[in-house]
Amino acid sequence: MLDPLALAVALPLLGALLVTMLPGWSRTLGMLTALATTGVALWLTVTVWSGEGLRSDLGGWGVPLGIGLRADGLAAALVAMANLVALAISINATGYFGAAESSRKFWPLWLLLWTALNGLFLAADLFNLYVMLELLGLSAAALGALTGTREAAEANLRYLLVGLLGSMTYLLGVALLYTAYGVLDLELVAEALTPGPVAWSALALMIGGLLLKSALFPLHFWLPPAHANAPAPVSAALSALVVKAAVYLVLRLWLDLFDGIATLPAAMLLGLLGAGAVLWGSWRALRAERLKLLAAYSTVAQIGYLFLFLPLLTAAPDGDTRERLLTALVLLALTHGFAKAGFFLAAGLVQKSTGHDRIRELGGAAQSLPAATFTIGLAGVALIGLPPSGTFFAKWVLVGQAIALGQWWWALVAMAGTLLAAAYVFRVLARAFNREPTPKCFLTDPRTEIPALLLAALSALAVGLAAQPIAVLLGAGV
Amino acid sequence: MNLDPYLPLAIVLSSALPGVLIFLLGEDSYRLRTALNMFGALLKIVLVGWMIWGVFHGHVYESRLTLMPGLELVLSADALSVLFVALSTVLWLVTTIYAIGYLEHSPNRSRFFGFFSLCVSATVGIALAGNLMTFVVFYEILTLATYPLVAHRGTPDADHGAKVYLAYTMSGGVLLFVGAVWLQTLVGQLAFTQGGLLGAAPEALHGQFIVIFFLLLAGLGVKAALVPLHGWLPQAMIAPAPVSALLHAVAVVKAGAFGIVRVVYDVYGVEFAHDLGLLTVLGVLAATTIIYGSIKALSQDGLKKRLAYSTVSQVSYIALGASVLGPIATIGGLVHLVHQGIMKITLFFCAGNYAETLGVHRVSEMNGVGRRMPWTTLAFTVGALGMIGIPPVAGFVTKWYLGLGAASAGAYWVIGVLLVSSLLNAAYFLPILYRAWFRPPPEHWPKEPVLSKRLETAPSLLWPPVVTALLAVIAGLLAAAPFSPLEWATLIAEREYGR
Amino acid sequence: MSHEILLTQLLYGGAGILFFLLGVWSFISHEPLWRKLIALNIMGAGVFHVLVAVAYRGLDAPPDPVPHALVLTGIVVAVSATALALAFGRRLDREAPEHTSDAHGGVDDREDGTHA
């Protein structure tokens, strides 16, 4: 029997094994795997969207020993985004790495990372989540160091160590929960959990560990060097997907597991850190001298926005308000995923054609690569939160609910972040207007340019307008 | 199949889609680009004509997209939106023709015309927006689409002008955003409603309404160039002439002024706004802007700069009309939305012609241009006389209704403002006319490329100002004819005041 | 019987948590790579300790298999992570032989990442 849940994890794993065994065919096999996995992921999303929550236990082993997978609306939405982004990154990578030696190293690690991503979104118990988290961290750190430069190795070593610290902390929280309740399945733990010292300690440990992995200010220090020094397709995956997976897990735990246990002051603390991330990340992005570093700091800021929602979600009464906030949160996460991936891919194009990515000297490149400039522009629209991107509507809800729930200070933070983002995005875009010669045509290297452009266009034009289907998806399969 | 729900959307897309295609064109595809431009512009005119006919006969056109409960994008046509749509559609066609001629040999035309089309799409979206959120959406898109046009030339000056423009509009946009969101949390969906929708709200909210009005006004005032938010407009003069026409007449400042009208009439309700004391504030701001802009214009030697300050002053007539309670002043303000557009676009076309044909950029260089370029100068004269308010040009109708409205509302100070400003208008326009017609021309113009063998300049540069000047005269002469701007403004005012 | 089990669990579990805390302290306070790695492994050992303690159900009863499975998996993960970290460390050593290995735990602190 064909099970989209199992296939979404098994296919990329199988692909990873195949490309390891047949390195000569890595590009072809890798692309086939990418296409098949994306297909399965979309099938999964459509199934959930049509009203079925999915759940399966691999190999017939049930709780507690088996590996359980499940998909609700939230998981399905992120799986769809992650797989589309991953497909675009794969296509871009065939052009970016070409047939070089690094291509052979890229594909096994990349498919492994893809496996971990899908596994993480779909895992149904706390321990499998840990395993996927580690797999994600390991493959991401290895991929990030593919350029082979010293900076990349240093940055990714730091990334790896910090990631390990985070996941060990998370694991201790899991151990505590198992000690107290004897179950690991998310739903069973949620039923059993009662407020008390154990639950609070576990909450603190698990969320704390994950915050380190999701680079929430002030734990973001490892992110910018790691993301800025990786090859462009890898940066795209790291910034758009890997960090988001950790945030997804925070959200999953916060909403499903610790709902009613997490207190408003705790949520306020996270919101405060989020606000710090928005302001500090945007400010550093504004001061950054290199394009990829700017993008990395912008990720720090954008992750902050997601945490601004937590105090509102915790304070909101159940029902409409909460659903709206959740939709807005997911809208923001999806938009950022598409936008940041597109941005990094375009930055990679610029870097390849000019040999550097120093913003001050970008003039000629920006003029001669209209497709890349447009990609950065469209992604920038989404990062700033201008309409009709999803970010705009998400901020509309965020600001509205912040005012309605009496927590208006988040609205101020969001608006300050918007202005700062406008400043750092247009700092780059302004370079595209100069007296350099006019380019003759729009596209110069379609295989690398089109995926980036499509991602950015999705983020700026499509995701926001598709808010209603996304809301339906989030309400499905709970 | 009933196509009515798609008509507003189609009007927006009729320029947006060609715009996107134009981006993808190679720089050398001159014919295809021109064809796409003209196709979009003409198709839009046809669609808008259809819509005018329908709205007049009571049809309802509404495109709607629900995003979340309480979050809807709505495009719909009422009498007010049709007024603005018609203005920008007609002027866009003329401007496109002018721009094709103006930019014939300059670089980056695909980029330019792509954003040019997006710009007018956003403007039409603003006009057709059926609720405040939709309005904000298109208002921000307009900011985004105009930035590349201002920065187009790529010189340090252009870069600076564009940055100033962006800083003003983005900050204004954020204030507008917060105001709109805040208002929505208080009263729910903000569908534009004739007569306003806040009047019935509990009195406890009035304090917040006043704060919100200032937020909205700050956001809209930036684009409408209300003093002290006008600083970007003279800086943006650096852009090519068709862009100036777009900024000053078709899109940007108009969007701001139109937004003020919408907020006063269809969100707050003019009577409710009056009760809250908001109209007085608006009136004082508008009057200050009118006088200040005119005084600044006096001392500008750069022709486009002088025109820019004149815009600062003239656009505020629209806000002034909205700030006086009573249908007659409303008519005066609304009709000026159209009249100022036609007259100012004429003036900017002419300024562009002088610059392109003779290299004349300053008022002090304009001696005798009337002999060298009589048709252009004639058009310029019509526009200038209209701005001063001399009959039969359209500007006279505006000032007449504004004055009459002020008198009937007992706001006599408004008449004073009108008089002073008309004197100032005369003081900065008449010397130009005198130089152009009665001073002897210099032996050599700063530059003199041969743009046409028979005409005074290239035909695609000459016809647009002549046509718009003619329109300005017709709008004044036939003000009482059916479907004239004045008649349409009267229709709107009647509906707003519920008569 | 429950008293004896509880005591054993508490003893081993408490020791595990102590290990974990020692590991965290060591990770934060030491710069060199190998010390950080050892610290991480000690943290891991602490967590595994807790899990093994949970599995204990008395001398005459079979232990809970679930925590054992978790610990086994966890060890595999920890070993591969350590291996990858060591591989990074070796590469840094090879590329900059003039430095002692102690220097490499301290990764570049300049956030702007602008290197020569």
Looking at residue B238, its pLDDT comes to 82
Hey, is the C-beta of A70 within 8 angstroms of any chain C C-beta? Answer: no
Report the largest interatomic distance among the alpha carbons of chain A, rounded to a whole angstrom: 69
Token pair, residue B231, equals: 């600083």
What percent of chain A is modeled with pLDDT above 90? 62
Q: Where are the domains of chain B?
A: 327-499
Looking at residue A60, its pLDDT comes to 66
Q: Which stretches within chain C are classed as H helix?
A: 2-29, 33-55, 65-95
Looking at residue A95, its pLDDT comes to 87
Q: In a 3-state reduction of DSSP, which class is residue A55?
A: strand
Q: How many CB atoms lie within 10 A of CB B23?
A: 17
Looking at residue A281, its pLDDT comes to 96
Looking at residue B432, its pLDDT comes to 94
In chain C, what are the domains? 2-105 (1.10.287.3510)
* Number of residues assigned to chain B: 499
What percent of chain B is modeled with pLDDT above 90? 64
- Do A78 and A121 form a contact (C-beta atoms < 8 A)? yes
Question: Is the model's pLDDT at A354 over the cut of 90?
Answer: no
What is the residue range of A359's domain?
Answer: 265-478
Residue with the bigger pLDDT between A361 and A169: it is A169
What percent of chain A is modeled with pLDDT above 70? 97
Looking at residue C96, its pLDDT comes to 64
The 10s digit of each residue's pLDDT in B202-251 is 888 899 999 999 999 999 999 999 988 998 988 888 888 888 888 888 78
Token pair, residue B36, equals: 């796409």
pLDDT category of residue A357 using cuts at 50, 70 and 90 = confident
Question: Is the model's pLDDT at B72 over the cut of 50?
Answer: yes
ipTM exceeding 0.85, yes/no: yes
Is residue A462 assigned to a domain? yes
Looking at residue A148, the DSSP 8-state letter turns out to be -
List Cα–Cα distances, A228 to A287, A293, A422, B56, C64, in angstroms.
15, 5, 21, 59, 46
The 10s digit of each residue's pLDDT in B49-62 is 999 988 888 888 99
The structural domain count of chain A equals: 1
The 10s digit of each residue's pLDDT in A60-113 is 666 666 678 889 899 999 999 999 999 999 999 998 887 777 888 899 999 999
In this structure, the strands spanning B62-68 and A68-71 are unpaired
In this structure, the strands spanning A68-71 and A54-57 are antiparallel
Q: How many CB atoms lie within 10 A of CB B413?
A: 12
Which residues share a beta bridge with B74? B64
Q: Which residues contact B204 (CB under 8 A, 6 or more apart)?
A: none
Q: Which H helix or E strand runs over A16?
A: helix A4-21
What is the C-alpha separation between B85 and B61, in angstroms, rounded?
14
Report the largest interatomic distance among the alpha carbons of chain C, rounded to a whole angstrom: 66
Tell if the CB–CB gap between B171 and A419 is shorter than 8 Å: yes
Question: Is the model's pLDDT at A347 over the cut of 60?
Answer: yes
Contacts of A442 in chain B (CB under 8 A): 23-26, 110
The 10s digit of each residue's pLDDT in A212-221 is 999 998 899 9
Token pair, residue B368, equals: 């005798």
pLDDT category of residue A38 using cuts at 50, 70 and 90 = very high
Looking at residue A112, its pLDDT comes to 95
Selected residue of B12, B28, B103, B111 to mutate for chain A interface (largest A Cβ count, 10 A):
B111
What is the C-alpha separation between B284 and B289, in angstroms, rounded?
8
Q: A-contacting residues of C 53-92, CB under 8 Å?
A: 54, 64-67, 69-70, 73-74, 77, 80-81, 84-85, 88-89, 91-92
What is the C-alpha separation between B186 and B188, in angstroms, rounded?
6
Selected residue of C5, C47, C52 to mutate for chain A interface (largest A Cβ count, 10 A):
C47
Question: Is the model's pLDDT at B378 over the cut of 60?
Answer: yes
Contacts of A399 in chain B (CB under 8 A): 177-178, 181
Looking at residue B499, its pLDDT comes to 55
- Do B77 and B492 form a contact (C-beta atoms < 8 A)? no
Q: Which residues contact A391 (CB under 8 A, 6 or more apart)?
A: A331, A332, A335, A336, A339, A382, A383, A384, A385, A464
Selected residue of B71, B139, B243 to mutate for chain A interface (largest A Cβ count, 10 A):
B71
Token pair, residue A244, equals: 């988001």
pTM (2 d.p.):
0.93
Work out the average pLDDT over B283-299: 93
Tell if the CB–CB gap between A396 and B174 is shorter than 8 Å: no
Is residue A385 assigned to a domain? yes
Looking at residue A141, its pLDDT comes to 93
Q: Which residues contact A428 (CB under 8 A, 6 or more apart)?
A: A291, A294, A359, A362, A366, A376, A380
Map chain B to HEC letters.
Answer: CCCHHHHHHHHHHHHHHHHHHHHHCCCCCHHHHHHHHHHHHHHHHHHHHHHHHHHHCCCCCEEEEEEECCEEEEEECCHHHHHHHHHHHHHHHHHHHHHHHHCCCCCCHHHHHHHHHHHHHHHHHHHHECEHHHHHHHHHHHHHHHHHHHCCCCCHHHHHHHHHHHHHHHHHHHHHHHHHHHHHHHHCCCECCCCCCCCCCCHHHHHHHHHHHHHHHHHHHHHHCCCCCCCHHHHHHHCCHHHHHHHHHHCHHHHHHHHHHHHHHHHHCHHHHHHCCHHHHHHHHHHHHHHHHHHHHHCCCEHHHHHHHHHHHHHHHHHHHHHCCCHHHHHHHHHHHHHHHHHHHHHHHHHHHHHHHHCCCEHHHCCCHHHHCHHHHHHHHHHHHHHHCCCCCHHHHHHHHHHHHHHHHCCHHHHHHHHHHHHHHHHHHHHHHHHHHHCCCCCCCCCCCCCCCCCCCCHHHHHHHHHHHHHHHHHHHCCCCCCCHHHHHHHHHHHHCCC
Which of B96, B129, B94 lies closest to B114, judged by CA? Answer: B96
Contacts of B136 in chain A (CB under 8 A): 387
Residue of B nearest to A430 (CA): B159
Q: Which residues contact A62 (CB under 8 A, 6 or more apart)?
A: A68
The 10s digit of each residue's pLDDT in B451-463 is 777 888 888 899 9
Q: A-contacting residues of B 175-234, CB under 8 Å?
A: 177-178, 181-182, 184-185
What percent of chain C is modeled with pLDDT above 90? 33
Token pair, residue B326, equals: 């009573």
Looking at residue A305, its pLDDT comes to 95
Is residue A7 assigned to a domain? no
Residue with the bigger pLDDT between A57 and B149: it is B149
Question: Is the model's pLDDT at C102 over the cut of 60?
Answer: no
Subunits close to C (at least 3 CB pairs below 8 A): A
Token pair, residue B229, equals: 């938010």
**Shortest CB distance from B68 goes to which of A324, A422, A430?**
A324
The overall average pLDDT reported for chain A is 90
Tell if the CB–CB gap between B158 and A396 is shorter than 8 Å: no
Looking at residue A362, its pLDDT comes to 81
Q: How many CB atoms lie within 10 A of CB B225?
A: 29
Name the minimum distance, in Å, from the CA of B107 to any CA of chain A.
Answer: 6
What is the C-alpha separation between B83 and B93, in angstroms, rounded?
16
The 10s digit of each residue's pLDDT in A7-16 is 999 999 999 9
Work out the average pLDDT over B373-396: 92
Is the link from the previous residue into A197 a cis peptide, with omega within 30 of 0? no
- Do B241 and B79 form a contact (C-beta atoms < 8 A)? no
Lowest mean pLDDT among A135-139, A266-270, B444-448: B444-448
Is residue A64 assigned to a domain? no
The 10s digit of each residue's pLDDT in B83-105 is 999 999 999 999 999 998 888 77
Question: Is the model's pLDDT at A349 over the cut of 80?
Answer: yes
Q: How many CB atoms lie within 10 A of CB B444?
A: 9
Backbone angles phi, psi at B63, to 5 degrees: -105, 135
The overall average pLDDT reported for chain B is 90
Work out the average pLDDT over A397-410: 94
In this structure, the strands spanning A54-57 and B62-68 are unpaired
Question: Is the model's pLDDT at B484 over the cut of 90?
Answer: no
What is the C-alpha separation between B113 and B117, in angstroms, rounded?
6
The 10s digit of each residue's pLDDT in A272-288 is 999 999 999 999 999 99
What is the C-alpha separation between B442 and B434, in angstroms, rounded?
15
Hey, is the C-beta of A327 within 8 angstroms of any chain B C-beta? Answer: yes
Looking at residue C97, its pLDDT comes to 52
Question: Is the model's pLDDT at C20 over the cut of 90?
Answer: yes
